[in-house]
A and B are shown apart, each in its own frame.
Chain A
Amino acid sequence: MGAMCASMVYPLARYIIPPDVPEAQTSRVVAGHEGDLKPNEGKVFRFGDRPGILVRLPDGRYRAYSATCTHLNCTVQYRGDAKQLWCACHNGFYDLNGQVVAGPPPRPLDEFVVNVAAGEIVVTRS
C-alpha cells in the first residue's frame, strides 16, 4: 500500500517542483549611452535576468548597483530630491555607496563597476 502511494506521490511531487534552469551568467552589459542620463538621475537596466540601476551622480560620474532591495527583493529607484536610492515597497533608503541609510533593508546593495568607453556605459559585475 505504501509503495503504491509512493509510486503515485513521488512523480507528482517531482512534477510540481520546477526544474533547475541554469541562469545565464551575465557579467557585463551596456547599461546605456553617454547623454542618456543627466546629472542627478538614475535608470533601471537589465543585468541578465535581474535589474540593475545606473546612477549619474550630481558631479557627472556614474555608479551602478544591483537594483534588488536587500529587504524583500523589490526594485529600487533613484530619488534625485534625496540623492539616495529608494525602495518604495518598505521605504528603505541607500546612500550613493549602496549603504543602508534608513528603513528595514538588512544589507547594502551590491555595487557594480562602471566604465565609459566609446560613448557606451559598460557595467561589469565586480
Chain B
Amino acid sequence: MSDPAATPGGLRSFLEERTGVDALVALGRHKRVPLHRHTIWYYMGGMTLFLFGIQVATGILLLLYYRPSSDQAFESVQFIMTKVQFGWLVRSMHSWSANLLVFVMFAHLGSVFFMKAYRRPREVTWLTGVALMGLMMAFGFSGYLLPWNKLAFFATQVGTEVAGAVPVIGPFIMRLLRGGEQVTGGTLTRFYGFHVAVLPALTTVVLGLHLLLVQKHGMSEPPSIIEARRRSGEPAKSMAFVPHFAIRDAIGWCAAMAVLAGLAAIFPWELGEKADPFAPAPAGIRPEWYFCWMFQALKLLPGHVLGIEGELIGIFAIGLLAALVLLVPFIDRTPGPGDLRSRLMNVAALVVLVIAGVLTVLAYLPPAGGAS
C-alpha cells in the first residue's frame, strides 16, 4: 500500500519521486512567449527542430537498406527507390526535409539576427546556434555523397579540394576528409561514418545545450518592441507556452509535414547516374542550393588576383564571413534598440543576403560559353 504507483493519482508521485518530472511540468506551465508583431519568427526554431526529427526518423529507415561502399551504395539507393515499398517516399522525404531544414534554419538565424536576440545574456545561445548551422551544413555535405552519383562525386571533389586549399592545415584536412589523396570508396565510407555517427553525436550535445540555454533565458523581445512599449506605457503581452504556443507550433509542424509529403510525392528526389571517377564532370553540375553562392563565387573569381590564386581569395573571404557571423554578439554589444554600429550591421547583413541571392540565381543559369 505504500507504493505510490498503486494509489489513485499515484503515477505522478511515483515519477516525481524517481525523476523530478514536476520541475519540467512547472517549466512548461510557467514559460511564456512574448506577443508582438514579430512573434511569428519564434516558430522557426521549433520548426527546425521538427524537421531535424524528420531527418532522424527517415535517416534511420534508410539505414535499413543502405550499403556504404562504392560498388554498392548507388545500387542500394536504387533498390530503396524501386523495390522497397514506399522507399522512394522515405528517400525523397529525407532529401526534401534536409533542404527545408536548411531553409528554415536560415530563417531562424536571420530572425535572431535582426531581432537582436543574440545580445547579452544570449551570446552562448548564438554560438551554439551557429555551431548547429555548421553541423547541419556538414550533414548536407556528407549526405550528398552517400548516393554515390556523378554530381555527388564531383561536389565532394570540389568541396574537399576547397578545404585542401586552406593555407598550412588544408592538405591535412583534405586527407582527413577523403581518407586518402583522392575521393574514393574510402571517402564514401568515411562520410557515412561522419553522417550517421560523428555528426549526430556532436549535434545531440550542441542541440541539448542550445535548448537548455533557450529555456534558461526565455524568449528574447526585440529592443525596438521594448522601446515602443516603454514610450506608449502599454503592458507587455504574452501567451502561455503550454498549451497556446505549443498548439500553434504543432499546427505549424502539421503544415510542414503536409508540404514535405507533397514535395516528396510530386517531385521525387532524383538519383542521377552512378559516379565514375574516370568520367568528365557533367555539364550543369552544381552543389545543393545553400552552397551555390560559394560555388558561383569560386567560378567568377579569376585565376589570379594581384598575384594571388583566385580560389585562395574566395576561401579567405568565406572564412572571414563565417568568423564574422560567429562573432556577431561580440561585435554588437549595444543594449538598446540600436546605435550606428547595430544599424550598419543590419545593412551589411542585407547586402550579404542580396549578394548571396544573386550568386545563387547565377549558379542556376547556364554558364557563358558552357554547354547547359
Contacts and interface: CB of A to CB of B under 8 A. Distances in A.
B175 to A, nearest CB: 6
Given A18-B180, A51-B278, A73-B157, 10 more contacts: A51-B277, A72-B161, A74-B154, A75-B281, A76-B280, A90-B158, A91-B299, A104-B300, A105-B303, A107-B303
B127 interface: no
Contact of A23 (B172, B181, B277, B304): B181
Contacts of A100: 303
Given A102-B369, A106-B310, A72 B162 contact: yes
A71 interface: yes
Nearest to B190: A18
A28 interface: no
Contact of A72 (B279, B280, B284, B311): B311
Q: Which has the most chain A C-beta neighbours within 10 Å: B165, B367, B370, B371?
A: B370
Nearest to A23: B181
Contacts of B300: 104
Interface residues of B, number: 40
A77 B309 CA distance: 23
B281 A91 contact: no
Interface size class of A (residues with CB under 8 A): 35 or more
Given A23-B181, A105-B303, A91 B367 contact: yes
B301 interface: yes
A67 B180 contact: no
Contact of B299 (A75, A76, A79, A90): A90
Contacts of B309: 106
Dominant SS at the A interface?
loop
Contacts of A51: 277-278
B157 A72 contact: yes
B285 A88 contact: yes
B140 interface: no
Contacts of A50: 182
Contacts of A61: none
Interface in A2-31: 16-18, 21, 23
B164 to A, nearest CB: 9
B283 interface: yes
A116 interface: no
7 contacts: A50-B182, A74-B154, A75-B281, A77-B280, A90-B299, A104-B300, A104-B302
A30 to B, nearest CB: 15
Nearest to A105: B303
A43 B182 CA distance: 21
Interface string B292-316: 0001001111111000011100000
Contacts of B301: 104
Q: Which has the most chain B C-beta neighbours within 10 Å: A51, A71, A76?
A: A71
A75 B280 contact: yes
A104 B299 contact: yes
Interface in A50-78: 50-51, 53, 67, 71-77
A86 interface: yes
Nearest to B172: A17
Contacts of B370: 86, 88, 91
A102 B311 CA distance: 15
Given A72-B298, A74-B158, A91 B182 contact: no
